[in-house]
Amino acid sequence: MIWVTWRQHRLEALIAAIILATLILILLITGVDMLSTYQSTGLASCVTPQPTCGELEGNFINQFSGSVSLLSIALSCLPLLAGMFIGAPLVARELEQRTYRLVWTQSITRVRWFGTKLILLIGISLLAFIALAILTSWWSSPWNAVIPWSTYDIRGIVLPAYALFALALGVAAGVLVRKSVPAIGITIVVFLLLRLAIAFLLRPYFLPPLSYTGSVDNPGPPSPTDWTIHVGTSDRYGHELSDSQIGQICPQLKGNGSASAFLAFRNCEHAQGFHSLSFYQPIDRFWLFQSLEAAIFLLLAIALLAPAIWLVSKKIT
């Protein structure tokens, strides 16, 4: 069955290997570039809050934001691609091409057929993603010294977890609708929905965010390595004010964006005793959050695979 799985999927394996190799090459090249720039500009030995650090950081970010963004997009797509092209056709193709009538009447049981395929395809994919996550962690380490949370989705343990989820989702969709193309469609929709929902609605609140009250001239969380969830303005009593409330009390900016208007606005805020109020997640929660999110996707994957296995062995056709 191992040979059969390999022979059936060897084209996909080849394409995946090529994509992976290309990505690894790009990561290595840009990673070395980032690392050497990080060290040669002195950013490595620079510790905030020295004034020159801010400028060095700004330059560094400007220089590499383009490639980091592009690679982030590519790396974010990879788990979905795995789900679409490895997961979805796994059972669906066998059903829609009706070759199940051939392979399920050889001497192998369906459970062994399905189990072997799952273990091999998902197992090898996971190994690839784990290796990739290790590489991206190395690649992004200079960047992470400045803004670590921005690479959350493409390194660490969440990357393989996303892949596992996408694969399980693809397989389950294929078992459910029995045709590859609709299964791919379902995989895309559900994957994006869940990833976005968890990333934007759940992740900021895995633990209650910490709050920080500071001057309106210098808003934001204490450290640049913190993840800002929300920044607002509070009155002298610590109650957060809405934008319209601020505008009523200090209307200097209405219809006037000049520097003098802005200065007046600031003076008004100081006079009113306004402070900046920010909610954030500190960097020391980074790995805890990663673990929680990975656990969520792991559970989702299991919740998808278990009924899929049951359906294939008991019910289908």
Partner 1 sequence: MIQALEATDLGKRYGKEWALRDCTLKLPIGRVAGLVGPNGAGKTTLLHLAMGLLEPSTGSVQVLGISPRQNSSSILPRIGFVAQDRPLYRTFSVKDMLTLGQKLNPHWDMALAQERLANLSIPLNRTTGKLSGGQQAQVALVMALAKRPEMLILDEPIANLDPLARYEFQQTLMDAVAQDGLTVLFSSHLIADLDRICDYLIILSASRVQVASDIDSLLRTHKRLIGPRERQASIARTHTVLREQSSERQSNLLIRVNGPVLDPAWEVQEASLEDIVLAYLALQTGVTFSVQHKDTQEVPL
For tokens 């803004």, the residue is: 147
The two structure tokens encoding residue 309: 């296995």
- Site for partner 1 contains 13 (CB under 8 A): no
Contacting range for partner 1; rule: CB under 8 A; set: 3-11, 149-157, 172-180, 232-240: 3-11
The two structure tokens encoding residue 6: 């390999």
Contacting range for partner 1; rule: CB under 8 A; set: 73-81, 107-115, 191-199, 264-272: 107-115
Q: Which C-beta is closer to partner 1: that of 97 or that of 242?
A: 97
- Site for partner 1 contains 104 (CB under 8 A): yes
- Site for partner 1 contains 8 (CB under 8 A): yes
List the interface residues with partner 1, window 110-129 (CB under 8 A): 110
Size of the site for partner 1 (CB under 8 A): 22
Q: Which C-beta is closer to partner 1: that of 36 or that of 317?
A: 317
The correct pick among 107, 218, 258, 260 for binding partner 1 (CB under 8 A) is 107
In the bound complex, what is the minimum distance in angstroms from residue 11's beta carbon to partner 1? 8
For tokens 């343990």, the residue is: 157
The two structure tokens encoding residue 298: 């792991």
Q: Which C-beta is closer to partner 1: that of 101 or that of 230?
A: 101
Between the two ends of the chain, the Cα-to-Cα distance in Å is 21
In the bound complex, what is the minimum distance in angstroms from residue 86's beta carbon to partner 1? 17
Round to whole Å and give the CA distance between 275 and 232.
Answer: 9
- Site for partner 1 contains 50 (CB under 8 A): no
The correct pick among 62, 106, 218, 260 for binding partner 1 (CB under 8 A) is 106
The correct pick among 44, 108, 120, 253 for binding partner 1 (CB under 8 A) is 108
- Site for partner 1 contains 45 (CB under 8 A): no
Q: Which C-beta is closer to partner 1: that of 8 or that of 276?
A: 8
- Site for partner 1 contains 40 (CB under 8 A): no
- Site for partner 1 contains 317 (CB under 8 A): yes
- Site for partner 1 contains 258 (CB under 8 A): no
- Site for partner 1 contains 263 (CB under 8 A): no
List the interface residues with partner 1, window 82-101 (CB under 8 A): 97-101
| Residue 239 dihedral angles phi and psi, to the nearest 5° | -85, 135
Round to whole Å and give the CA distance between 296 and 300.
Answer: 6
Which residues of this chain interact with partner 1, rule CB under 8 A?
1-4, 7-8, 97-110, 315, 317
